[in-house]
Structure 1
Amino acid sequence: MISLLTYLVDYNALCLRILEADSYVRFAGVADQLGKMVASQYRKNVQPLLTKEESELSATQSILRMGTRLTLESKLGPTVYSFALYERVKRATIPVRDPGNHCLLVSFDVVADHEEIILEKILPLLKS
């Protein structure tokens, strides 16, 4: 069932705002609770590291991993974001906390200060 909020939130606009928030953001996408990408944007002139199919698989895996974190949130508190560092890219999964249980998937250049970008630039966008 698709929530009413899905129709009220322009996830493509959100992705664009995230890309505009910091020049080290390579990609921003929003996936639903089944891992289907509902919106995504790449930074201008960036070469994607994954094919469209690989990106969809990655989104599904990220959503599944985020779902497993829910079991401990009653004791640890809500997940703010999860993070992975690869040799060629940094990636974060951020729960949107909307009725549709969407997740924001963001990738950064390796030299990015991802934590500062997430805490000071991306999370305020999600709250507004």
Structure 2
Amino acid sequence: MDFANEDFANIHCKHIRELDPLIRFVGIASGMGTLVATSYREQLNALMSDDETRLYAMQAVFRAELREDFQKNLGTLNYSVGKYDKLIRATIPLDSVNESKYYLLISFDIEANSIFIIEKKILEYIKVLPRG
């Protein structure tokens, strides 16, 4: 999967966001935490500014990278989820065609069954993405 290709990344952000109406936001961030693509639900009342979203991306990637320290004991991280008062956030590591790391960043409405959406919709979608 070539997430360094901005068109590829933007198309798949949009497709993933459209998998469920309770998905608010989908972003793809590089291993350095830089957002390479985003997709917001139409008419979304955003809870953060663009600058705050960029900072969130950096922090989410940093936290995911820190979790890799425990892979030898726990296995590979499939996804992580955090529930807040106003929304649910998830971070999913992505495979890439090169050695670069990418992460899928998603936010859901608070009433979403995020685990179901991740496991039955998003991860299934990711499985069938072209590998190169």
Map of 1:123 onto structure 2: 123
Counterparts in 2 of 1:42 and 1:119: CA distance versus 1, 3 Å = same
* Secondary structure at 1:6 match in 2: coil
* Secondary structure at 2:101 match in 1: coil
Query: Partners in 1 of 2:117 and 2:18 — Cα distance?
Result: 11
Query: Partners in 2 of 1:9 and 1:73 — Cα distance?
Result: 32
Instruction: Tell me the C-alpha RMSD between the 2 structures.
Output: 1.7
Contact kept, 8 Å, 2:3 with 2:9, in 1: the verdict is no
* Secondary structure at 1:22 match in 2: coil
Contact kept, 8 Å, 2:2 with 2:8, in 1: the verdict is no
Map of 1:113 onto structure 2: 113
TM-score of the aligned structures, taking structure 1 as reference length = 0.92
Map of 1:72 onto structure 2: 70
How high is the sequence identity, in percent, across the aligned residues?
Answer: 34
Shift of 1:5: 5.7
Query: Partners in 1 of 2:7 and 2:124 — Cα distance?
Result: 15
Map of 1:20 onto structure 2: 18
Higher helix fraction (1 or 2) = 1
> 1:103 aligned to 2:106?
no
Query: Partners in 2 of 1:106 and 1:71 — Cα distance?
Result: 23
Shift of 1:126: 1.3
Map of 2:5 onto structure 1: 7
Query: Partners in 2 of 1:27 and 1:7 — Cα distance?
Result: 20
Contact kept, 8 Å, 1:5 with 1:100, in 2: the verdict is no
TM-score of the aligned structures, taking structure 2 as reference length = 0.90
5+ long unaligned stretches in structure 2: none
* Secondary structure at 1:107 match in 2: strand
